[in-house]
Amino acid sequence: MLDAAGCEVVLVETVGVGQSEVEIAAQADTTVVLLAPGMGDGIQAAKAGILEIGDVYVVNKADRDGADATARELNHMLGLGEARAAGDWRPPIVKTVAARGEGVDQVVEALEKHRAWMEEHGELARRRRGRAAQEVETIAVTALRQRFGDLHGDRRLDALAERVAAGVLDPYTAADELVAAVTATL
């Protein structure tokens, strides 16, 4: 909505490193992962799959003990990932002290470099096409679901479920039969 309203830059902040954050990151052109020293964020990030989605990593509170170790650990974990081909994007790790405004220029520079790399390599267009395809698919599936209606309690579904539970029919064949029956009436 903000994009359609003409906003050039839209920032979305999430809290934590869970599945919903990964889903939100899939909607962004660039994903920044923010970590702090001594918070166990590195381990949490690895567990949640955040290492696969970050385009830029920021270690905030870089004036605290453990900031260098957090950056090193993050760099090591990123190096353990998939082998990158020449020219592939290597997510930078930027250290900041947000309370004092330190490192902000480096974060902006990293974001600008990522944007330029995406445009040069066609990645920006690829990501946007992928998001558009996902949106179209979601809308189409929702429309089909509405046209099919609620199948709970439908005699066709109940009969097929009974056959699957009895081991007479496998669920995939049952689903095919149900789709065929429902689409024949549309």
Q: What is the mean pLDDT of residues 15-32?
A: 80
**Tokens representing 68?**
């260098």
Query: Each residue of 76-128: pLDDT tens digit?
Result: 888 876 667 778 899 999 999 999 999 999 999 999 999 999 999 999 999 99
Query: Each residue of 128-179: pLDDT tens digit?
Result: 999 999 999 999 988 888 877 777 667 888 999 999 999 999 999 999 998 8
What does the pLDDT read at residue 127? 94
Q: Residue 61 pLDDT more than 90?
A: yes
CA dist 177 and 162 (Å) reads 14
What does the pLDDT read at residue 154? 79
- pTM score, two decimals? 0.77
Q: Residue 42 pLDDT more than 60?
A: no
Give me the residues paired with residue 33 across strands: 57
CA dist 186 and 143 (Å) reads 13
In the chain, which ranges are continuous DSSP H helix? 19-25, 41-48, 50-53, 67-79, 104-121, 123-148, 155-165, 171-184
What does the pLDDT read at residue 182? 80
Contact 52, 19 (CB under 8 A): no
Please give the residue that has the higher pLDDT: either 92 or 48.
Answer: 92
Query: How far from 177 is each of 57, 88, 151, 153, CA to CA, in Å?
Result: 49, 46, 13, 16
CA dist 129 and 76 (Å) reads 32
Q: Residue 31 pLDDT more than 80?
A: yes
pLDDT class of 3 with cuts at 50, 70, 90:
confident
Provide the CB-side half-sphere exposure for 63 (13 A, CA). Answer: 7
Give me the residues paired with residue 97 across strands: 102
Q: How many CB atoms lie within 10 A of CB 38?
A: 12
Of 175, 130, 139, 145, nearest in space to 157 by CA: 175
Q: Which domains does the chain have, with CATH numbers?
A: 19-128 (3.40.50.300), 149-186 (no CATH)
**Tokens representing 16?**
């934590």
What does the pLDDT read at residue 131? 92
